[in-house]
Structure 1
Amino acid sequence: MNRFDYVRPTTVEEAVRAIGSAANARFIAGGTNLVDLMKYNVERPERLVDITRLPLEAIEEHDGGLRIGALVTNSTVAYDERIKERYPLLSSAILAGASGQLRNAATTGGNLNQRTRCYYFYDEATPCNKREPGSGCQAIGGVNRIHAIFGTSEACIATHPSDMCVALAALEAEVRVTGPGGERRIPFAEFHRLPGDTPQYDTTLKADEIVLSVDLPDADFAGHHTYLKLRDRLSYAFALVSVAAVMKRDGDTITEARFALGGVAHKPWRNTEAEASLKGKSATRESFEAAAEIVMREAKPQSENGFKIELARRAIIRGLTQAAAGTPQSQSDKRIA
């Protein structure tokens, strides 16, 4: 681990100045991802800006929905009564991820900004375009069982690791950030990036900006939702494929449906064409199969992860079935409902 400066601002303005005045600075709060990367020499910041004293630890009513401060821990979000009542999908997704100890430390803003997962990204002895742009992608043609099947490029096939973010994508949350240029709001679908030819950038957040909050819109999806996570083991494992689904129904007719996939792309993956295909349709397996087929048309497997195509197709159908029936996947009894 390299030597670095350490500062601990007490206001957002001080934090923005601190991050902008060093060439290679990083914010740190829970440190559940950044510290690991520093230990592996993947991240070598010249300055750490500790933001744990900033006033960003509240969950508040906002514009009919809820505003979650960037420093609210994952556990606090998951067990907040307002979240469980109005946005149970988010609570379920968080409880599907990591371990209790990590959820107690990990923050909302940190979860949004965690780096994509790839064996080669974490191994500085191998080429990786995310670590060293232009060095190549060892995962392409290498060990790529866990890697992406959507939105890949010749530069990178890594996957986004978050469970929470998959739910936030389906809920169409908004990320509030600020920097030297002032405050701005980023629709969740635009916050994370596909790799393209610049895979070193995971988000559209500028280097001198800080996340202030995640804003949940006023929406009623509490009755029909599910977060389905398929993985190699039932605890403390990243998703091979996950599905966050929400739905509104009028009798047997679907009036609105949204679903996002995790474990399959460089960002939470949505297909608005597939979602639109469900509107006005009956909540039947046939409707869900047709939507899944629309999604899977864009899948591009690598040498070892072709199994994800059928796994994702079945997961979409099962997730939509659970959401339609109002029988969400349990995160304590992880057997598939």
Structure 2
Amino acid sequence: MKTFEFRHATSVDDAVAGAAAGGTYFAGGTNLLDLMKGGVAQPTALVDLRRLGLTDITPTDEGGVFVGAGASNSAVANHRLIRSQYPVVSHAILSGATTQLRNMATAGGNLLQRTRCPYFMQTTFTSCNKRIPGSGCAARGGFHREHAVFGASEECVATHPSDMAVALAILDAVVHVQGPDGRRVVPIDGFFALPGDTPDVDNTLRPAELILGIELPPSRFADHSWYLKVRDRHSYAFALVSVAAGLAMEDGVIASAALALGGVAPKPWRLHAAEAALVGRPADEAAFHAAAALAMDGADPLPQNEFKVDLGRHAVVRALTRAAAVE
């Protein structure tokens, strides 16, 4: 690991100034330290955020919840407001990693995870446009079973690994950030960047911007939501396909719906056409299969991950069935 400086930020402004001077934000470190140990990330200075008090989870005046960026994943998943109003977030977090990692990882850091593509994570591979822009994408001609079927480009076919972000996508969460130019808010759908011809850019944060927290609007899906994660093994594995499903129902009829896929794209992948197909229909198997038939439209799989198209349709049906059945 490369030698680096380490200092504790004393305020948000101090942290932003440290990052503007070339530092890298450090909170839980569950992803960053792995990248540093492997030589993928080589920061010259770390700006520790753990003394800034960004850990509160509080109700908002609008009836939603604000989750501080420094709150641990365990704290978010087990908080009474999240469990009662946004259970899909709790489901998603608890399906990821181990208890020990969830105790360390933070809500803000969860959004900033880098891809787990082996060609990115291992510096012995010299062809990775995300790690070395212009070097090529080894996954396209190599191992790509776990890679994207939506939103990829010729430059990169990696997926985003966050489970929590997929749940946040169906809730239309908003990310609050602060940088050298002040504060702003970023809708979760506009937070992640597709690779295009700049695969090394994961999100739309500006230089030195710090995530302050995540705002959840008033819940529409407290009564009927589910997060389904399909993976090779039950424990500590990233999703092959995951589905966040939310339904608002009136007398057994779907009044509104939200669906997002994980494990299939460089960002949480909203299924707007499938959502629209559910509205006004009874919450039954026929409606769920109709939505699933639309869910994978536009998929562009590679030879090793063609199975994700069929798997995605089945996963949508199963997630909707579980969401509708929740009481």
- Which AA in structure 1 matches 2:116? R
- Bigger shift: 158-167 or 278-287? 278-287
**In 2, Cα distance between equivalents of 1:319 and 1:201:** 31
Q: Once the 2 structures are TM-superposed, how far is the Cα of residue 170 of structure 1 from its aligned partner?
A: 1.1
Aligned-partner Cα distance in 2 for 1:284–1:140: 39
Equivalence for 2:295: 295
Match for 2:166: what amino acid? V
Q: Residue 42 in 1 paired to residue 60 in 2?
A: no
* Equivalent residues of 1:11, 1:55 under 8 A apart: no
Match of 2:113 in 1: 114
Counterpart for residue 20 of structure 2:
20
Q: Which residue of 2 aligns with 1:332?
A: none
Aligned-partner SS, 2:244: strand
For 2:115, the aligned partner's letter is: T
Cα offset for 1:207?
2.3
User: Does residue 2 of structure 1 match 2:15?
Assistant: no
Structure 1 equivalent of residue 100 of structure 2: 101
Q: Determine the C-alpha separation between the residues in 1 that align with 2:194 and 2:282.
A: 33
Alignment correspondent of 1:259:
259
CA distance in structure 2 between the partners assigned to 1:117 and 1:218 by the alignment: 33
Aligned residue for 2:214, secondary structure, equals: strand
* CA distance in 1 between partners of 2:5 and 2:15 (Å): 14
8 Å CA contact 1:141, 1:302 repeated in 2: no
Question: 1:143-187 CA distances to partner (integer Å, 9 max, x unpaired)?
Answer: 011111111100000011111111111111100001111110000
Return the letter of the residue paired with 1:34: L
Deviation, 1:104, is: 0.2
Question: Contact 1:170–1:259 at 8 Å: present in 2 too?
Answer: yes
1:67-92 deviations in whole A, cap 9, x for unaligned? 00000000001111111111111111
- Equivalent pair of 2:295/2:312 in contact (CA under 8 Å): no
Per-residue deviation, 1:98: 0.3
Question: 1:126-141 maps to which residues of 2 (within 5 A)?
Answer: 126=125, 127-141=127-141
Q: Which runs of 5+ in 2 are unaligned?
A: none
Between the aligned residues of both structures, percent identity stands at 52
In structure 2, what is the equivalent of residue 226 of structure 1? 226
Q: Conserved in 2, the CA contact under 8 Å of 1:141 and 1:303?
A: no
Give how far 1:203 is off: 0.8
- In the TM superposition, structure 1's runs of 4+ consecutive aligned residues that sit over 2 Å from their partners are none
Q: Distance in 1 between the 2:63 and 2:191 partners?
A: 22
- 1:52-201 paired onto structure 2 within 5 Å: 52-62=50-60, 63-126=62-125, 127-201=127-201
Q: How far is the alpha carbon of 1:226 from its aligned partner?
A: 0.7
Alpha-carbon deviations, 1:207-248, whole Å to 9, x = none? Answer: 210000000101231110111111011111111111111101
Q: Secondary structure at the match of 1:140?
A: helix
Looking at structure 1, the residues matched to 35 and 118 of structure 2 have their Cα atoms a distance apart, in angstroms, of 12
Give the count of matched residue pairs.
325
Matched-pair contact (CA < 8 Å) for 1:247–1:323: yes
Tell me the CA shift for residue 16 of structure 1: 0.4
Q: For residue 31 of structure 1, what is the amino acid of its counterpart? A: G
Q: 1:281: how far off?
A: 1.4
Return 5+ residue gaps in structure 1 as ranges. 328-337
CA shift at 1:251, angstroms?
Answer: 1.4
| Other structure's SS at 2:139 match | coil
CA contact (8 A) 1:174 1:185 kept: yes
TM-score of the two chains, using structure 2 as the length reference? 0.97
